[in-house]
């Protein structure tokens, strides 16, 4: 039981179920997890004797088996909240390569170039209000229509921005990678316009909305640096829009590779799967597989594992 309580998501689930019994889907929404992750936590907690469940029609409803366990959960939550930020910082540096754990309040690490693309925000670090979020693969950072509270930056890993359409389809708008800001529009919006879901285990810096707006009003230089970053990101997004407007799958793939290649060997190393690449350039994975196979057969590209090289065209 103690082991089952040793996870921040499971503590959050207990807090949620303390109010009323509820379904897996409602738990996933309330704790911002994927259905698979929520089911895993609920199953583990039920096996540990913390929860009971029963079927109601097509749904399985969960409840706290023994209310006395809520006192232990509240104590653990208070202990986590009272840990010193300095201790978190030392632990984070000592375990930089460890699996993701609970969120912690930390200043951005000065050694990391991805801490803030517009310059290290010392005013935030000193105030201790920059939050480092640790996200498991598939975990949601926020959901479409949630009230906005911060803008974010990927410290490591990848975060997908996913839009729900009116006909219940999911569209990947963008995949943010290490160093990239996302959800910038939340500074001037009451709610988020998409879901943010970790594609892999990721670490994300959260810059509180109210603090940023106050700083921009008082520090024109910081505002200028931030606008410079946004201008660069707009250029990148326009290039991606141009890519989406290319109708031929072959030309779209070649256009993407030409923009992404680097080095004398004219190669790109994929940091995700081919399905991730297909989503990014707006093709079905079947169309991407066929196109890559055709380009490789004709000698236009060479593939070695996760690396794709674009061969130089022969002079006419």
89 within domain boundaries: no
| Judgement on whether residues 109 and 191 belong to the same structural domain of the protein | yes
Note whether residue 92 is domain-resident: no
Pairing of the two strands 22-23 and 267-269? unpaired
First to last CA, the chain: 72
Instruction: Tell me which of 217, 232, 260 is where a domain ends.
Output: 217
Residue 91's pLDDT is 39
Nearest residue to 19 via CA among 8, 7, 3, 31: 31
Write down the pLDDT at residue 305. Answer: 82
Query: Is 64 within the bounds of a domain?
Result: yes
Residues 6+ apart with CB under 8 A from 152: 133, 141, 159, 176, 181, 182, 183, 196, 204, 205, 206, 207
Residue 316 lies in a domain: no
DSSP 182: E
Which CATH number fits the domain that encloses residue 19? Answer: 1.10.10.10
Query: Do both 62 and 138 map to the same domain?
Result: no
Please spell the DSSP secondary structure of 239-301, one letter per residue.
HHHHHHT---HHHHHHHHHHHH-BTTTTEEE-SS-HHHHHHHHT--HHHHHHHHHHHHHTTSE
Residue 76, token pair as written in the block: 């653990």
Judge contact between 250 and 288, C-beta under 8 A. Answer: no
CATH number of the domain that 197 lies in? Answer: 2.60.120.10
Beta strands in 65-187 (DSSP E): 104-105, 131-135, 140-142, 150-156, 158-164, 170-177, 181-182
Phi, psi of 180, deg, nearest 5: -85, 140
Domain count along the chain: 3
Specify if 67 maps to a domain: yes
Q: Assess if residue 241 is contained within a domain.
A: no
Do 268 and 299 lie in a common domain?
A: yes
Digitized pLDDT (tens) for each residue of the chain, 316 residues in all: 777 777 888 888 888 887 778 888 888 888 888 888 888 888 888 888 888 888 877 778 888 877 667 766 666 665 655 544 444 444 334 333 333 333 333 333 333 333 344 444 444 443 445 778 899 988 999 998 899 999 998 888 889 999 877 777 778 888 888 878 899 988 889 999 999 999 889 999 888 888 888 878 887 877 887 888 788 778 777 777 777 778 888 888 888 888 777 556 678 877 777 877 887 788 888 888 899 999 999 999 888 888 888 876 544 3
Place of tokens 């010193």: 84
Q: What is the residue range of 276's domain? A: 246-310
Reading phi first (left if > 0) and then psi (alpha if -120 to 50, else beta), residue 187 is in alpha
Residues 146 and 186: beta-carbon distance below 8 Å: no
Are residues 57 and 115 both part of a single domain? no
Q: 123: number of CA atoms within 13 Å, CB side?
A: 12
d(C-alpha 22, C-alpha 24), whole Å? 7
Identify the pLDDT of residue 195: 93
The residue among 46, 76, 106 that closes a domain is 76
109-134 core/surface letters (b: 16 or more CB in 10 A; e: else): beebebbbbbeebeebbeeebbbbbb
Structure tokens at 126: 């000193």
116 & 194 share domain: yes
Question: 235 lies in a domain?
Answer: no
Same domain as 203, residue 123:
yes
Q: What is the pLDDT of residue 155?
A: 84
How confident is the model at residue 55, as a pLDDT? 81
Question: In terms of domains, do 147 and 48 share one?
Answer: no
User: Is residue 110 one of the residues assigned to a domain?
Assistant: yes
Same domain, 261 and 179: no
Other C-beta atoms closer than 10 Å to the C-beta of 73 total 19
- DSSP β-ladder status, 59-64 and 22-23: antiparallel
Check whether residue 143 and residue 185 sit in a common domain.
yes
Give CA–CA dist 208/67, Å, rounded: 35
Does this model's pTM top 0.75? My answer is: no
**DSSP helix/strand/coil, 105:** strand
pLDDT reported for residue 78: 59
């Amino acid at each position: 039981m103690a082991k089952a309580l040793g996870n921040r998501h499971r503590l959050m689930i207990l807090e949620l179920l303390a109010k009323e019994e509820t379904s897996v889907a409602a738990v996933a929404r309330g704790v911002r997890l994927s259905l698979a992750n929520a089911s895993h936590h609920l199953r583990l907690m039920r096996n540990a004797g913390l929860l009971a469940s029963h079927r109601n029609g097509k749904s399985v409803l969960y409840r706290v088996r023994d209310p006395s366990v809520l006192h232990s959960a509240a104590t653990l939550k208070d202990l986590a909240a009272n840990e010193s930020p300095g201790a978190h910082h030392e632990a984070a540096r000592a375990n930089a390569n460890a699996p993701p754990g609970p969120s912690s309040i930390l200043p951005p690490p000065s050694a990391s170039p991805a801490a803030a693309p517009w310059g290290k925000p010392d005013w935030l670090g000193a105030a201790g209000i920059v939050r480092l979020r640790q996200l498991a693969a598939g975990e949601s950072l926020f959901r479409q229509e949630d009230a906005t509270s911060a803008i974010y930056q990927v410290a490591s890993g990848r975060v997908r921005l996913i839009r729900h359409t009116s006909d219940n389809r999911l569209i990947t708008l963008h995949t943010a990678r290490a160093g990239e800001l996302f959800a910038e529009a939340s500074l001037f919006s009451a709610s988020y316009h998409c879901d943010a879901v970790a594609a892999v285990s990721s670490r994300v810096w959260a810059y509180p909305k109210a603090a940023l707006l106050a700083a921009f009003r008082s520090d024109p230089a910081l505002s200028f640096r931030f606008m410079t970053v946004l201008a660069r990101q707009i250029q990148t997004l326009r290039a991606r829009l141009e890519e989406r407007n290319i109708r031929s799958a072959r030309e779209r793939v070649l256009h993407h590779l030409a923009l992404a290649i680097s080095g004398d060997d004219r190669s790109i190393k994929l940091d995700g799967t081919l399905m991730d690449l297909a989503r990014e350039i707006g093709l079905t994975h079947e169309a991407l597989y066929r196109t890559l196979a055709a380009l490789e057969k004709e000698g236009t590209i060479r593939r070695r594992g996760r690396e794709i090289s674009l061969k130089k065209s022969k002079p006419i």
